[in-house]
Every structure is written in C-alpha cells, then in structure tokens.
Amino acid sequence: MLRELERYYEDYCESIRQEAEKLRAEEMPEPTEDLFAIYENTGNRLIYEDVYFERRKFLAVFGLKAILDGEERDIQKLEDILEGICAEECWALPAHVNRMTDENWRTYVDLFAAETAQTLAEIASLLGGRLSQETVRTVEQEVMRRVLAPFSASRPPYSHWEYGASNWCAVCGGSVGSAAMYMLKDRPEELTAILERICHALETYYLKSFAEDGACLEGLGYFTYGMTYFAGFAGQLYEFTKGRRDLFRSEKLARIAAFQAKCYFPSGRTVSFADGSADERFRVGLTCYLAMKYPEAQIPPMERAAGLDGDNCYRWMGLYRNLTWTKEYIDFLRGQGVRAEEEADAGKGNAEREAGGEENAGKKADGKEAAAGKTVLPDAQWIICRSANGAGMAAKGGHNGEPHNHNDVGSFFYINGEDFLLTDLGCGEYTREYFSEKRYEHLCCRSLGHNVPLIDGREQLAGEEYGCGRFDAQGPDSTLISFAGAYANPELKSLTRRLDWDEAEGTLRVEDRFQVTEQLRSIRENLVTCWKPEIQGNTLRIQGPHSGCVVTIEGPEVKVDCIRQDFSDHGGHHRDVWLIQWEVPGTGKAGDLSARFTVRAV
C-alpha cells in the first residue's frame, strides 16, 4: 500500500503540473447573464454549470500549482483567476436561487458559494505572502460580503441546510466554518459564534443523517462529498483550538468511516443505490485521513482512486487535501517502516474477513476468492454479496422517504465482474424537475426503473410511510424482504421477496410471494438492464461488454416483454434502458401467488 500511495502522490503532482501547462495560455470562460438564465427558462443546469465549474478548475489547478512549486508565473496567473472569481455576480448556482423573489440572491449561501468562499479564504491564507495586497483585500472583502456576513447576521437556521440531515449541512457548514477561521481571527466573538453554530449543526444534524451502521443513504458519492467537508473543517478546528474541540470523538464516525470500502466490488464497481453511481472513485486524501484516525477505514483498490479530474466540479477542499493528507499518511507509514506495510496488509485482510463473514476468514487475502461473502448494514437495510468468481449482488429494504430518495424498496441489482447486468441506474441528470414534484417521472427515481414488481400496473409510492416491513439478512445464504407497504395497495396483503445467494457460483435465486385478493388483476415482474436481452421462452441472456448472465424464469412458459426506455444519466448522456416484464401466473384469484427466477453468471 505504501508504494501504491507514493506512486499516486507522484502522479497527482505531475497531473497538476501538466494541467497547468494546458491551461496557462487559456482564458477562463465567462458566466454570462444569458447562460445564467438558461436554467430559469428551460430547467437545464448543465450549460451554465459547465462554464462555472471550468472556472473552478482554473482556480483549483493554479492554486495547487502555486502551492506545489511556488513559481512566480503561477502566482500571477492565480491572481488574475482570483480577481475573476471575485468579480462574478453570484457564487451560487442558478438552480439554488430565485431572482424573482429574493432580492439578496447574489449573496445567498448555497453549496457552491460556500465552497468558493472556503477555497478563496484558504488559498489567500496559504499564499498570502506571495499574492498582492490588493488581491488579498479583494478576496477578504468578497468572502465576507457574500458568505460570512450573511451567515453571521442570520438567526439559525440560516437556510434549510444548517439544520438539514444531508450532505448540504456538512458542505455548507464546513466551508463557512473553515473560511471563518481564516478570515475572522481578529474578530473572536463573531468567529466563536459561527463555530458554535457550525459544530451544533454538524453534530446534531449531519452525523444523524447516517444510519447507525454508518451507511450514507444518499449514496456513496455523497458520503465522499459531505465527509470531505466535515473532515476538512473538523481537522482545521482541532488545530485551531489546539485540540480543545474535537469532532472526531463521535463513536459513530468509526462506522461511518468504514462505510466506503464496503461499497466496492472486487472489480472496482460500486453500490449505486439512491443518487449514487456504479462507477464511483474514492478520494485518496480523505480516505488516508480517515484511515489514520480509524482502523475501520480501509483503502479501496488504488486503481479506483480519483485523480485531479475525478471531480468535475473541481472542489478545492478535496483536491488540496489529496496533497496534504496523502503525504501525511505516506509519512506516517514510512515512520512505521516495514511493520506499517504488514499492518496495512493485516487491515486489508480484516476488511475482507468482515465482508466475507467468519466462514471466509482463512481464505487468501490477495484473490477474488477472499472477497467472497456478504456485508450487512442492518440499520440502512442493505446487503452486499460477493462471489468467488467475481459476480455480486446487492439488495435493500428501507423506505421511500430517504435522502436523495428513489422508490426502490425491495430492489436488488446483479453484477458480473465489471458489468451491471440487472442494474440500479443510480443518479440521473440533475434538472429543475429532478428536484420537484416531477421527480418520480424520471426513470431512475421511480420504481419502474428498479428491479421490483408492478402491482395492478401501479408502482411504489414516495414517502417515508411507504417502506419495508421486514428485512432479515442474518441467515447464511438467504435475505428476506417484506415490502407490500411500499405500494399501499389494499388488494396486496403481503409481498415477500427471498434472495438466495450462492457464494461459490455467483448465482442468485429470487422468489417473490404475493398474498392477494381476487380484485387484484395483474402482477408483473420487472427487471431493468442497460443491455438488450436475448429472449428464448423463459430464458433471457444479457450480455455486457465483458461478461453476461442468464435469467431463467421458473414454472410455465410466460410471455416476456422487452420495453426500451430512454435514460439521461448524471452527465446528461442519453442511454437505452430495457425493461424486462412478464405476468405472474394465477392473478385474478384470491390467495397466494409466487414467481421464481434464477440469475446465473456466464
């Protein structure tokens, strides 16, 4: 692990230098009024945000380059960038302000205004002796005017995020608190008041947004996002107060820190529940920092590490700490010598034993076989299973009022190697409608876009009251999920899904049992894939780019429909999605019905 981290650090530094050379002769794009108004007129976020985040790329790259090498030409370029950022009319995104109803929209503190304030305050503090006094004064004035003054003058909660159980609380709060420690050292009363508010918000609301088992219900990417700003602020606060204020003392944080590694499959693909991603990459700096504090925080395979371009928003808090925290961890391991490598290997083995269960504790720690087994997050009601041949599956209970919610109670996905074959689509394109009452018209958010049945043509309902009645994943091979309550259909008396996982072969057997009245006319099984299946009777073959699976429907032959759907992913790319549906035999009569199918890796 030490050698891998050293190579990562060297490559990361080189990528900063190379990117700076590419951008040196370029000018930042301008965030014009016409671009800002696109969201208001159409609901499209990506066009303006592409320009906005390209500007943050310039800021991050030349901030990092100036700190890394200290060349005068980088300082001069950075000064121009800082002046340009300070001249923007609004640091918040159009999606987060309302120019028609809020006369103070230019100084509204959203995620990105707060991030910008933290970035500018930290860069000005780290490079204050190299930057011109005029630039530093401009930075200080704008950070105060746009972020610190509005927050300080407000009565708590400033906005929904201050007392919000989501990543917003950590990102906005952590950014405001960090900027305040840099900018308000000579105003102790105001600084103390801000820090008290931020600590209260983080300890009371942000940490409670995680399940007691440490799971981030918003998705793995939001774990990274929120925890980066929580850890950045908490670490700075600890140093600023000389250890008197330590937010890391929470016992729950050890379980939260362990969550990330549990979401990775041997191929490097990741659990994509809620607004997550099947292709999430981890932030090395954050992971190293957590690993120094908590033995439970394991480092995923380094080939899944995010580099400089791993965050298309170019958030400074994480990118800068990829330098500082990674180097700190490398120095820590070097200080431990050979024993550190042995401890890192032992820690990896412990994580694999946890993932694989006690029955796999003796297996080798360097092969796919060692990764077989299951991880259960009982409070989140997640189970993640890995097989000896590289296949895997995950399933969830929960409810339909979770943060970044999808109507997905009782759903599962199936993966073989790198390919999500029966998929959870994860996060869709963020638009105005995506976060409105029309959210559940988006395929990835509605239950139609998940591997769950349709009951009389109706889908699951949104809301915390529509959820899982029973989740039992304690058996050696089977998981039971009872989720009739997610549909609120009086004709559906019960719905229990049993998932039997063959750890050796990577085979999944699904049995759905329904108790219905005679008024219930239709139950259709519904599976989701991004690869058009080949259908022959009750046998379906799904072939991804690298591997495939065969789905076998048990019982009498059924008519299988294959329905194409259009899906716009988080990057705005349109993709084909295929719904595989068939009618469960026997509906129209009161009593017990069942549907069984098997998924086998090929």
**Band of pLDDT at residue 587, cut at 50, 70 and 90:** confident
Q: Whole-angstrom Cα distance, residue 139 to residue 161? A: 25
pLDDT at 476: 77
Coil, helix or strand at residue 15: helix
Q: Whole-angstrom Cα distance, residue 270 to residue 426? A: 10
Other Cβ atoms within 10 Å of 337 Cβ, number: 10
DSSP class of residue 531 equals: S
Q: Whole-angstrom Cα distance, residue 422 to residue 529? A: 5
Whether the CB-CB separation of 151 and 169 falls below 8 Å is answered with no
Coil, helix or strand at residue 518: coil
pLDDT at 3: 94
pLDDT at 358: 34
pLDDT digits (tens, 9 = 90+) for 528-575: 999 999 999 999 999 999 999 999 999 999 999 999 999 999 999 999
Give the percent of the chain with pLDDT over 90: 91
Token pair 């809301």 is at which residue?
A: 463
Coil, helix or strand at residue 433: helix
Q: Whole-angstrom Cα distance, residue 98 to residue 94? A: 8
Percent helix / strand / coil, the chain, rounded to 5? 45, 20, 35
pLDDT at 369: 42
Q: List 583's β-bridge partners, or say none.
A: 524
pLDDT digits (tens, 9 = 90+) for 230-260: 999 999 999 999 999 999 999 999 999 999 9
Q: Is the dihedral of CA 468, 470, 475, 478 positive or negative?
A: negative
Choose among 357, 392, 363, 362: nearest CA to 376. Answer: 357
Q: Whole-angstrom Cα distance, residue 181 to residue 171? A: 15
pLDDT digits (tens, 9 = 90+) for 373-425: 899 999 999 999 999 999 999 999 999 999 999 999 999 999 999 999 999 99
Token pair 């219905």 is at which residue?
A: 516
Q: In what order do the strands lie in the sheet with 454-455?
A: 454-455, 523-529, 574-583, 561-568
Choose among 12, 10, 127: nearest CA to 59. Answer: 127
Token pair 């609901």 is at which residue?
A: 43
Whether the CB-CB separation of 220 and 277 falls below 8 Å is answered with yes
Residue 344 has pLDDT above 70, yes or no: no
pLDDT at 208: 94
Coil, helix or strand at residue 467: strand
Q: List 578's β-bridge partners, or say none.
A: 529, 564
Q: Whole-angstrom Cα distance, residue 208 to residue 204? A: 7
- Which is higher by pLDDT, 362 or 264? 264
Cis (ω within 30 of 0) for the bond into 157? yes
**Band of pLDDT at residue 372, cut at 50, 70 and 90:** confident
pLDDT at 589: 83
**Band of pLDDT at residue 474, cut at 50, 70 and 90:** confident
Q: How far is Cα of residue 430 from the mean position of the Cα atoms in its chain?
A: 14
Q: Whole-angstrom Cα distance, residue 286 to residue 553? A: 45
